[in-house]
Structure 1
């Protein structure tokens, strides 16, 4: 079991200058709104034990140079439960964040809604959800730090509903608390590690690394980007790249894109960004390690990235990329995508996981984005599974890449040609970078011997 921190201890992990917000006027009915016998006494004992007057402490602080509103739960106060007074404090904190254009950082540790206040306590979740939604609509990021334990409505609103979810190692996390789970339920399913594996958390962060990690995330998600200016189109070619001339034939383009020694996404991202932080998971129960998503710093500005790694992309990968594009769009951060996949995963499990719907959602996210989306094809561009990640207006290619409506081998099979006709079919499909440029599919070719080749921007 993870160490259970008090609200003040959690705050001390991430900041040294916390200033508490004024306590809003609360509710004062004897024994609460239900007249629950002994409720006032229980609250008094909780205050005596913890030094807090409610289950959440709200205020402002600087985390690594970025001002933020912090909301820290005190689990020792009636299990960190949410009641009407908790809702008052949370609403006041979110309003303050919007008025002062500050990000919100919930440090969550809660057992859920307060039984002694009945349905009035449960409806605080709607109140919190509305404040979170208003803050999201205002273009302000929310980064949750999920502590031990985080269950019930607190997890389903302040925790899992945040833009980025950081979890402390070993923390108990799940909608069902330990006392209400089905008999025989596997306790390992209700942990930070399980939530990461299921795509519901972005990272497990040890307490000693939390301040630096949170500071990086706050800086990345609040650094202003030049309005309307896309990220540079040509990524630096990694120093270890050995081929820079354009391929002579379509089949050569295919073979080079499939070559194991060809630079992959990790090397491009490492060459491009000074530092970066990854998001993980589709928030629907899945992860795909073949789709790298996150935010990075380059020359003092933040750029979001979604990058395929050369594998067949799973539905969770497409959903994670769509989540990334929409978050970046809401925060006004430009997006860079790296295309490199033989195509979408087409096995039976991928279909059961909603491959078509996931690809459609990513197409929609890219099409709807108001922020600039720029694409570099760095390897295989396999059909719609690659095109879903590509910018309709600002796509570029490297010499070690191809883009095709279908793999040459599959095209030959559909046309009832023998397998040895695949190379000739590749030529007919015109998949080379220079073919794509001539067809107007890409705007330019970056990083070959003769320098970048460019075409005029598309009309409209």
Structure 2
């Protein structure tokens, strides 16, 4: 009783007034589909240690002024493993979420598919994946919390498939559990902190902070809050210089000035609250690409903001992930452009910087939601253009945009460094030039 009470206590700490769903009719006999020796007794002992007859607890609860569907795994019940009846309850919970237009929060602690039910248990990964996809198609957001441990199928089919992935500090997270991995393989790569460093987890959250973080996410991503079709994100006010630069080289120097307002300042001024996602889900993070969702005047706006550095493949893939997720949920996007260009070192080439930039171009082109762009600093070639919305790009007075930096143009043309200012004029990269040439829609004030 005590072990499962801990799971109920977790649910109660996260949401108010938790109401458990009526479980679907049982699909598996006590002995299971394989007639596994002793399985009925194992289930009976697991039930005796808890106040439920399965490894998941599903229901709805209030989080702040909104409600959400909660799916909580009980590791004390056969290691939080998933069998036929477990899968049926999870699928039914996602169906409730779709019917009631509620976001889903899954609190995962599982060793994977239930060995005693064999292939019938393994098939639940397909059923759960299908339920997650149907919810995604209906614009129902899914937030996963990876608890200790999260391994096997529930990491692959449910945790990693969520829109936002949180993790408990130190939680063991891996596809292969410790007992089936090669001897000696362990460490941070198999823990929450390692998954965060590798871009597979958005944030590591202390248990005491979890209710507040989840309440914030539910508020930002609740279907009832997201109007369709969304209006374009309002243009941020310019925070830097008011006067336009007189020359091209002056525009470049202004954009490169150390005291110019950067993305963080713009995001702080624009949003009353925001949640950042982190990582490309493919092994990388880039702190120079800030992505997430925020509250602007009572509405949710997604953002992808360059912070002045050269972005890596992981940064571009994270931006593409953010734009695709916003499009899926029906959230308008704001992009802030500020980069001298994409990273061009050997590591970035090996990491696929070209294909990663192509992902962003494609995500912007495919987006059904409006994308608004403000160039707040350097607009360096394709690495900057990838985030720019065609026909809805604005520019500040202390920014520039160019096909190539004037110094690089001088190198290509074999011109002396003293001729860089002249080339800056020829490139017509000033804000007023960009407006006259039809690239910028206007100059932000």
Q: How does 1:281-300 map to 2 (within 5 A)?
A: 281-300=279-298
Match of 1:59 in 2: 59
Does the Cα contact within 8 Å between 2:4 and 2:74 map onto a contact in 1? no
Answer with 288-297 or 412-421: which moved more. 412-421
TM-score, normalised with respect to structure 1: 0.94
Task: State the 1:325 CA deviation.
Answer: 0.5
- Separation in 1, partners of 2:30, 2:383: 61
Provide, for residues 119-169 of structure 1, a one-character-per-residue CA deviation record: whole Å limited to 9, x for no partner: 111111011000000100111100111111111111112111100011111
Match of 1:127 in 2: 127
Is residue 406 of structure 1 aligned with residue 407 of structure 2? no
- Separation in 2, partners of 1:186, 1:179: 11
Task: State the 1:112 CA deviation.
Answer: 0.5
- Separation in 2, partners of 1:18, 1:158: 22
- Separation in 2, partners of 1:275, 1:47: 43
Task: State the 1:259 CA deviation.
Answer: 0.6
Task: State the 1:5 CA deviation.
Answer: 8.8
Cα 1:30–1:56 change in 2 (3 A) is: closer
Aligned partner of residue 17 in structure 2, secondary structure: coil
- Separation in 1, partners of 2:320, 2:179: 36
Cα 1:155–1:163 change in 2 (3 A) is: same
Q: How does 1:53-202 map to 2 (within 5 A)?
A: 53-202=53-202
Task: State the 1:29 CA deviation.
Answer: 2.7
1:231 paired residue among 230, 233, 256: 233
Number of paired residues?
A: 441
- Separation in 2, partners of 1:56, 1:146: 14
Cα 1:374–1:417 change in 2 (3 A) is: same
Aligned partner of residue 24 in structure 1, secondary structure: coil
- Separation in 2, partners of 1:206, 1:30: 38
Provide, for residues 376-417 of structure 1, a one-character-per-residue CA deviation record: whole Å limited to 9, x for no partner: 000000000000001012000001100000011111111121
Task: State the 1:30 CA deviation.
Answer: 4.4
Unaligned runs of 5+ residues in structure 1 are 448-460
Provide, for residues 198-244 of structure 1, a one-character-per-residue CA deviation record: whole Å limited to 9, x for no partner: 101111111111111101111111222463421112x1233xx4x32
Provide, for residues 284-321 of structure 1, a one-character-per-residue CA deviation record: whole Å limited to 9, x for no partner: 00000000000110111010100000000111011000
Cα 1:246–1:350 change in 2 (3 A) is: same
Does the Cα contact within 8 Å between 2:4 and 2:51 map onto a contact in 1? no
Task: State the 1:184 CA deviation.
Answer: 1.5
Aligned partner of residue 16 in structure 2, secondary structure: coil
Does the Cα contact within 8 Å between 2:230 and 2:331 map onto a contact in 1? no
Q: How does 1:193-232 map to 2 (within 5 A)?
A: 193-222=193-222, 223-225=225-227, 227-232=229-234
- Separation in 2, partners of 1:367, 1:213: 32
- Separation in 1, partners of 2:100, 2:4: 31
Does the Cα contact within 8 Å between 1:280 and 1:320 map onto a contact in 2? yes
Task: State the 1:28 CA deviation.
Answer: 3.9
Aligned partner of residue 117 in structure 2, secondary structure: helix
Structure 1 vs Structure 2 CA RMSD: 1.3
Task: State the 1:418 CA deviation.
Answer: 1.1
- Separation in 1, partners of 2:178, 2:114: 16
Does the Cα contact within 8 Å between 1:6 and 1:75 map onto a contact in 2? no
Does the Cα contact within 8 Å between 1:4 and 1:147 map onto a contact in 2? no
Match of 1:312 in 2: 310
Cα 1:284–1:4 change in 2 (3 A) is: farther
Match of 1:442 in 2: 440
Answer with 245-254 or 178-187: which moved more. 178-187
- Separation in 2, partners of 1:156, 1:404: 42
1:342 paired residue among 340, 348, 359: 340
Task: State the 1:80 CA deviation.
Answer: 0.1
Cα 1:4–1:164 change in 2 (3 A) is: farther
- Separation in 1, partners of 2:242, 2:105: 46
Task: State the 1:52 CA deviation.
Answer: 1.7
Unaligned runs of 5+ residues in structure 2 are none
Match of 1:458 in 2: none
Does the Cα contact within 8 Å between 2:4 and 2:49 map onto a contact in 1? no
- Separation in 2, partners of 1:308, 1:225: 27
Aligned structure 1 segments of 4 or more residues deviating by more than 4 angstroms: none
Task: State the 1:446 CA deviation.
Answer: 1.1
Answer with 417-426 or 377-386: which moved more. 417-426
- Separation in 2, partners of 1:8, 1:17: 12
Task: State the 1:255 CA deviation.
Answer: 0.6
Does the Cα contact within 8 Å between 1:64 and 1:211 map onto a contact in 2? no
